[in-house]
Amino acid sequence: MTASTETSRTPLIELQGVTKVYGEGQAAMQALAGIDLRIEQGDFVAIMGHSGSGKSTCLNILGCLDSPTSGSYRFRGVEVSQLTRDQRAKLRRFYLGFVFQGYNLLKRTTAIENVELPLIYRGVPTRERHQIARRTLASVGLEGWESHSPSELSGGQQQRVAIARAIIAGPSVLMADEPTGNLDTARSEEIMDLLCRLNREDGITIVMVTHEQDMAHYAKRIVHFKDGRIESDQQNGRAN
Amino acid sequence: MLWNTLLLALREIKRNVMRSFLTVLGIVIGVASVITMVTLGNGATQQVTTQIASLGSNLLMVTPGRRMGPGSAGSSPSFKVEDGEAIAREITSAALVVPVASRSTSAIFGNQNWSTTVTGTTNAFLELRSMSLHSGRSFSDSEARAGAAVCVIGQTVREKLFGSQDPIGSRIRLGALSFQVIGLLEAKGQSTMGQDQDDTVLLPLRTFQRRISGNQDVGMIQVSIREGQPTEKAQRDIRLLMRERRRLAVSEEDNFNVMDTKEITRMLTGTTQVLTGLLGAVAAVSLLVGGIGIMNIMLVSVTERTREIGTRLAIGALEREVLMQFLVEAVVLSSSGGLFGILLGLGASFGLKNLLQVPFVFNPGIAIIAFLFSAAVGVLFGYFPALKAARLDPIEALRHE
């Protein structure tokens, strides 16, 4: 009885024996050597590891930016490795949000225009788009900064704009790649608090790559990568 | 979808106003020069056409030389007064036969000096050219016969030599000799090929031959054909008469021309049209260069915006959406450059119309073609950079520094 409910409930993310090999022949480099990972809706996972451990490659695959060499990646039960490039783009558009270490905001473009970008690709009408963008910016604490361009904002503020852009379309999962990598401790903690709040209040699943222990401790679950494998996977006692 | 793409492209152009402007400058200049060349060319053609048409369709011009044109007349014998008389006698359909001989000479009155065209002809010249006298009189028969030192001047010559004074009765010097002004023509304005018809001094033909040119030659014989008479027949008859008078053997080609106004129009507009076409082609090359400029900048822009493209792809932009964005950007750039160029070209033609004394003839066809062409340049030269952007690997693009 419990077994059947267990199997019928599809996890949000399920990796099975995922490998990733870059290059061919002699020059081949195995970035992932068989990853099994399940992430449920509402989780907050921190992926840790040294550089070259495969954590970024794993995030790229989870973010549907890259396909595994072998193994299976099911997102909401859909086999991602079999999707076309356009189908994966659509999947990102409707289910995923991205936050990067370098913010990746469009230069010379106001905060509100940056934030509403995903809505443009979704074809949301102008007025509605502005309203939503304004509201989202306010929710990350940037009310009144709508018409500032990235160069007029601090690093912390830029990352907030980036987070607003990532969540504006209401994604299931937020993929964060070293979101605090360019920020000082105080700013980093603010960003982590914001991510925790999004996870707690809006139920957004968060997968975050970081190499900072302090930041990882904000997550509910910490996965350690080493040499393309998962070294440890544990619930974080300190988590909120 | 298309509206959103347009929005993204416009935003991008707005983001880089200066660069966008420099990018399209080539197109702007190319289109502006095409429009200017063609507009001025059309104006010149139209001017020639209307002015020749105003001469009347019943006018024939008999000139020596195989082809009418500069430099060719010297190779064949000139006409004499007798040739004109023969035409008047033999060709029954001829209404007016006017021998004309011209030369450029300076006219002097007091301390005023003006370079003008002196024409030796008969009174019938006035009738043929629909000129009338403002004051004074035309040549009397005895003056014409005797080759008296009298002249009729145009308004420009009067203005330059006499200012506001009444010229009638005064004596002006043409070359080495002094002539009495007996008549003043009404102002007539511009003529064929933009020359000032009022800048003229008329002498009796015999006076011209004796005192100015020193020979018996007649440069051209103008013949008007009576209303209702076929010009083709008159043309043929004059040709045969001239061949006979010049004793040309059957095998020999004509060493003179008998042209009607249609042929003159065709010849003159032909020249301007060829010129317009050539200048237009040169301008079109500059459009091509402008297109390459757009491609160059778009390629730079794709490289520069690699991270941005990566971000867009990560957000969920489809390959074709990125392609469309860059393509639309190129097309918006090039066609707005085209639009700007059209306005600039029309403005330039309008501004030059007085300087070049060519009427302003707006040709909507060429404006539309120029606009479509500039848009096509955008598609053509924007496609490759756009494809390059769309094909980027999102991971690579996001990592790009």
Give me the residue label for tokens 């030059």: B352
Q: Closest Cα of chain A to B296: distance in Å?
A: 21
End-to-end CA, chain A: 32
Rounded Cα distance, A112 and A118, in Å? 11
Is residue A33 pLDDT above 90, yes or no? Answer: yes
The strand pairing partners of B115, in sequence order, are: B106
* Residue of chain B whose alpha carbon sits nearest to that of A93: B316
With bands split at pLDDT 50, 70 and 90, how would you rate the model's confidence at B385? very high
* Partner-chain residue, chosen from A63, A94, A113, that has the shortest CB–CB distance to B11: A113
- The whole-number average pLDDT for the span B296-319 is 90
Q: Closest Cα of chain B to A238: distance in Å?
A: 32
Least confident of A2-11, A89-98, A121-130, B246-255: A2-11
Which of A106, A109, A119, A165 to substitute to test the interface with B, most B CBs within 10 Å? Answer: A106
Q: Closest Cα of chain B to A86: distance in Å?
A: 6
Beta-carbon separation of B316 and A89 below 8 A: yes
Query: Which residues in chain A are closer than 8 Å to B312, comparing Cβ atoms?
Result: 117, 121
CA torsion through residues B367, B368, B373, B379, sign? positive
Residue B220 structure tokens: 């051209």
* Residue of chain A whose alpha carbon sits nearest to that of B1: A123
* Partner-chain residue, chosen from B4, B11, B311, that has the shortest CB–CB distance to A104: B311
- The whole-number average pLDDT for the span A183-193 is 94
* Residue of chain A whose alpha carbon sits nearest to that of B308: A106
Least confident of B82-91, B162-171, B179-188, B193-202: B193-202
pLDDT for the residue B195: 66
The strand pairing partners of B183, in sequence order, are: B136, B152
pLDDT for the residue B198: 85
Q: Closest Cα of chain B to A104: distance in Å?
A: 7
B17 inside 8 A of chain A by CB:
no
Beta-carbon separation of B316 and A107 below 8 A: no
pLDDT for the residue B263: 78
B310 inside 8 A of chain A by CB:
yes
Angle in degrees, CA B14, B20, B25, rounded to 5: 145
Is residue A100 pLDDT above 90, yes or no? Answer: yes
Least confident of A78-82, A213-217, B294-298, B355-359: B355-359
Q: Closest Cα of chain B to A2: distance in Å?
A: 38
Q: What is the DSSP string of B250-262?
A: TTSPPSEEEEEHH
CATH value of A42-67+85-233 in 3.40.50.300, 1.10.150.110, 3.40.50.720, 3.30.450.20: 3.40.50.300
Rounded Cα distance, B185 and B157, in Å? 10
- The whole-number average pLDDT for the span A141-170 is 94
Query: Which residues in chain A are closer than 8 Å to B318, comparing Cβ atoms?
Result: 86, 89-90
Query: If you average pLDDT over every residue of chain B, what do you get?
Result: 85
Which has the higher per-residue pLDDT, B332 or B356? B332
A96 inside 8 A of chain B by CB:
yes
Query: Which residues in chain B are closer than 8 Å to A91, comparing Cβ atoms?
Result: 316
pLDDT for the residue B57: 67
Beta-carbon separation of A104 and B308 below 8 A: yes
H/E stretch holding B24 reads helix B17-54
pLDDT tens for residues B91-147? 888 888 999 999 988 999 988 889 999 999 998 888 888 888 899 999 998 898 888
Beta-carbon separation of B1 and A123 below 8 A: yes
Q: What is the DSSP string of B137-151?
A: ----HHHHHHT-SEE
C-beta atoms surrounding A137 within 10 Å: 24
Segments making up each domain of chain A, as ranges: 42-67+85-233
- The whole-number average pLDDT for the span B182-210 is 82
Nearest 5°: phi and psi at A109?
-130, 135
Rounded Cα distance, B308 and B304, in Å? 9
B313 inside 8 A of chain A by CB:
yes
Rounded Cα distance, A124 and B175, in Å? 85
pLDDT tens for residues A54-67? 999 999 999 999 88
pLDDT for the residue A6: 46
Which has the higher per-residue pLDDT, B189 or A104? A104
pLDDT for the residue A5: 44
- Asked if residue A60 lies in contact with residue A235, where contact means CB atoms within 8 angstroms, the answer is no
Nearest 5°: phi and psi at B74?
-65, -25
- Asked if residue B109 lies in contact with residue B170, where contact means CB atoms within 8 angstroms, the answer is yes
With bands split at pLDDT 50, 70 and 90, how would you rate the model's confidence at B73? very low
With a CB-CB cutoff of 8 Å, which residues 62-101 of chain B face chain A?
A: none
Residue B401 structure tokens: 């520094």
Give me the residue label for tokens 């010249």: B125
Which of B311, B324, B325 to substitute to test the interface with A, most A CBs within 10 Å? Answer: B311
Is residue A3 pLDDT above 80, yes or no? Answer: no
Question: Which residue, among A57, A77, A80, has the nearest Cα to A227 in the 3D structure?
Answer: A57
Residue A150 structure tokens: 């990235």
Q: Closest Cα of chain A to B15: distance in Å?
A: 6
A113 inside 8 A of chain B by CB:
yes
**A195 Cβ contact list (under 8 Å, min separation 6):** A44, A163, A174, A176, A179, A206, A208, A218
With bands split at pLDDT 50, 70 and 90, how would you rate the model's confidence at B56? low
- The whole-number average pLDDT for the span B2-28 is 83
C-beta atoms surrounding B378 within 10 Å: 28
- Name the percent of chain B lying above pLDDT 70: 95
Query: Which residues in chain A are closer than 8 Å to B319, comparing Cβ atoms?
Result: 85-86, 89
Is residue B69 pLDDT above 60, yes or no? Answer: no
Query: Which residues in chain B are closer than 8 Å to A63, comparing Cβ atoms?
Result: 314
- Asked if residue B358 lies in contact with residue B46, where contact means CB atoms within 8 angstroms, the answer is no
> Over the range A114-124, which residues count as b (16 or more CB within 10 Å of their CB) and which as e?
bbbbbbbbbeb
B396 inside 8 A of chain A by CB:
no
* Residue of chain B whose alpha carbon sits nearest to that of A162: B311
Query: Which residues in chain A are closer than 8 Å to B7, comparing Cβ atoms?
Result: 120
- Asked if residue B381 lies in contact with residue B337, where contact means CB atoms within 8 angstroms, the answer is no
Segments making up each domain of chain B, as ranges: 2-50+267-399, 77-254
The strand pairing partners of A230, in sequence order, are: A225
pLDDT tens for residues A110-131? 999 999 999 988 889 989 999 9
pLDDT for the residue B72: 46
Query: If you average pLDDT over every residue of chain A, what do you get?
Result: 90
With bands split at pLDDT 50, 70 and 90, how would you rate the model's confidence at B390? very high
Query: Which residues in chain A are closer than 8 Å to B17, comparing Cβ atoms?
Result: none
Residue A95 structure tokens: 């289910």
* Partner-chain residue, chosen from A66, A104, A113, that has the shortest CB–CB distance to B395: A66
With bands split at pLDDT 50, 70 and 90, how would you rate the model's confidence at B1? low
SS3 breakdown of chain A: % helix, strand, coil, rounded to 5?
A: 40, 25, 35
